Amino acid sequence: MFGDSFSFFMFIPKSFRLVHASLGLCLLGGMTWVKTVHAQFRSECDIRPIPFREDIRPPDAWETAWEAAWPEASDALQTWRTGQFKQVISVWRGWAPHAAAHQAMAERLGLPPSAAYLAWWATCDDATRLSRASWDERTVEAMLQSWKVNATPLSAMQQAHAARPRTVDLNDWARAMRTGMRLMENLELPRIHVVQTGETVYSISRTYGLPPRCLAQWNGVWDDLQPGMALIIPDLL
């Protein structure tokens, strides 16, 4: 059987066999080139490892109470540490445009910094999907006002958990909040750019000296920018 197949192959004109072999080599070479270029683009868009800040803030009164109530570290910490803190960076994109205003609001009400972060997280469905800088400040302010009047650190955590439907119970959520807050405040996280009218991926990339594909890759956008969107400005290797 193999002899017949070999005879049939030899019967095919030599020129056709050469073309067929050339096409096969081109296809193999093309696949190798695509893999090489993809790996090159991926490595070019890798960010630097995210270090901890030198001026780490000690836990405030509310955080101290939460650590006593939920001493175990969140299981989410291990997830957040993979992929160079990609989940933390995603949450940071939603939190950063509001951080200063919310913390100032909490300070005016005599509440600790952690209260501002907790109120923000309590009023969003999925912090990792936020990309716009616009936010209903009144919702956060109302929650902070209620905590000023009558709240303990533990009751505030319970109210924040109950503010929106959660897929995890209070204990797991509280541990994740405690871990997330410390990471948000104590990591040297990337800069955030809030998109202005008329800006594009190309114009923003030129401003920060970044390859446009890297800005697009880290933010999951390309040509659909809208004013008010918060973009991560990655610190590339």
Q: Tens digits of per-residue pLDDT, 148-173?
A: 988 899 999 999 998 877 778 899 88
Beta strands in 112-214 (DSSP E): 191-194
Rounded to 10°, the helix 170-186/113-122 angle is: 120
Q: Are residues 85 and 181 in the same domain?
A: yes
Nearest-Å Rg of the Cα atoms of the chain is 26
Q: Give, for 232, the enclosing helix (H) or strand (E).
A: strand 230-233
pTM equals 0.67
Q: What is the pLDDT of residues 208-219, one digit of tens each?
A: 999 999 999 888
Q: Are residues 66 and 141 in the same domain?
A: yes
Which residues lie below 8 Å from residue 1, measured CB to CB, with a gap of 6+?
Answer: none
Beta strands in 99-217 (DSSP E): 191-194
* Domain housing 12: 2-44
* Mean pLDDT of all residues in 113-124: 86
Q: Are residues 69 and 182 in the same domain?
A: yes
Q: Are residues 110 and 134 in the same domain?
A: yes
What is the number of structural domains in the chain?
A: 3
* Helix, strand, or coil (residue 191): strand
Q: Are residues 95 and 113 in the same domain?
A: yes
User: Structure tokens of 197?
Assistant: 């009218």
* Helix, strand, or coil (residue 89): helix
Averaged pLDDT score across all residues of the chain: 75
Listing DSSP states for 155-167 in one string gives HHHHHHHHSS--S
* Mean pLDDT of all residues in 180-202: 86
118 in a structural domain: yes
Q: What is the pLDDT of residues 16-53, one digit of tens each?
A: 444 444 545 444 444 444 444 444 445 688 877 777 78
What does the alpha-carbon distance between residue 182 and residue 57 come to, in Å, rounded to a whole number?
Answer: 9
Q: Are residues 182 and 84 in the same domain?
A: yes
